[in-house]
């Protein structure tokens, strides 16, 4: 696990690319990156031209699935770079597993997270708190999840995050006493459990 702290999205993306190549080539083991980003909107593979046309911050097109979303201060971001073993190469199951990581971490703070049929991510009641989008290269996963902890949710305005009304975005800290670092710690712990089960070690 590597904590990047507050970092530019472009720098974290470049690091992911290097680590994915090394992992796919068998030159390193799986790794989890933990980050908090400066303001940026990323456009996934399902994004349409102009999806973030009204946004006054950097916009970056990336390889992950899904649509547009925002990353920024107050948001816990995890990038698992994992070579999926033979017999476990199911990206839909991987996404459901990442959702469970977040649901379990939320439960550690006494908050009930849930899934909504037809959407990837984790919700608190009728509002979405966590976005998830991944990519895979030679069966090595990258990109990951972003959980709003104590973020400025107005930064989602000006576009439709994950195709949704921006008013549907939620912060975990509105439902529990928690800090970004404490949430990162629980997400990491829950991911380690999930990873151990997934790869068998």
Report the CATH number that the domain containing residue 181 is assigned in CATH: 3.30.930.10
- Output Rg (C-alpha) for the chain, integer angstroms: 16
Tell me what pLDDT residue 54 has: 79
Nearest to 90 by CA among 24, 134, 127, 146: 134
How far is residue 56 from each of residues 59, 71, 199, measured CA to CA in Å?
A: 9, 13, 41
Listed range (47-56, 92-101, 111-120, 151-160) with the worst mean pLDDT: 47-56
Averaged pLDDT for residues 56-74: 94
Give the confidence band of 199 by pLDDT, cuts at 50, 70, 90.
Answer: confident
- Whether the pLDDT of residue 48 is over 90: the answer is no
Total residues belonging to the chain: 201
Whole domain around residue 159: which residue ranges?
2-199
Predicted local confidence at residue 201, as pLDDT: 54
Q: Is 22 helix (H, G, I), strand (E, B) or coil?
A: helix
Looking at the structure of the chain, the number of domains it has is 1
**Could you list the active site residues?**
162
β-bridge pairing 75-83 and 68-71 = unpaired
* C-beta of residue 133 within 8 angstroms of C-beta of residue 119: no
Q: Which two tokens stand for residue 131?
A: 């976005």
Neighbours of 49 (CB within 10 A): 7
Encoded tokens for 29: 């083991």
First-to-last C-alpha distance (Å) of the chain? 15
**In this prediction, what percent of the chain has a pLDDT beyond 90?**
86
Largest CA distance in the chain: 46
Q: What is the average pLDDT across 61-73?
A: 94
With beta carbons less than 8 A apart as the criterion, state whether 128 and 75 touch. no
């Amino acid at each position: 696990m590597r904590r990047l702290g507050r970092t530019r999205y472009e720098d974290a993306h470049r690091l992911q690319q290097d680590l994915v190549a090394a992992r796919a080539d068998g030159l390193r083991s799986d790794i989890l990156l933990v980050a908090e980003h400066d303001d940026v909107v990323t456009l996934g593979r399902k994004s349409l031209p102009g999806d973030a046309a009204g946004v006054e911050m950097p916009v970056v097109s990336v390889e992950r699935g899904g649509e547009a979303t925002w990353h920024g201060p107050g948001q816990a971001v995890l990038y698992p770079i994992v070579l999926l073993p033979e017999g476990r190469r199911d990206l839909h199951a991987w996404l459901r597993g990442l959702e469970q990581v977040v649901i379990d971490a939320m439960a550690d703070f006494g908050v009930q997270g849930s899934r909504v049929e037809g959407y990837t991510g984790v919700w608190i009641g009728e509002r979405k708190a966590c976005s998830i989008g991944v990519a895979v290269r030679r069966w090595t996963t990258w990109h990951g999840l972003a959980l709003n902890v104590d973020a400025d949710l107005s930064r989602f305005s000006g576009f439709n995050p994950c195709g949704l009304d921006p008013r549907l975005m939620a912060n975990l800290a509105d439902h529990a006493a928690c800090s970004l670092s404490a949430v990162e710690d629980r997400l990491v712990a829950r991911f380690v459990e999930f990873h151990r089960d997934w790869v068998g070690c």
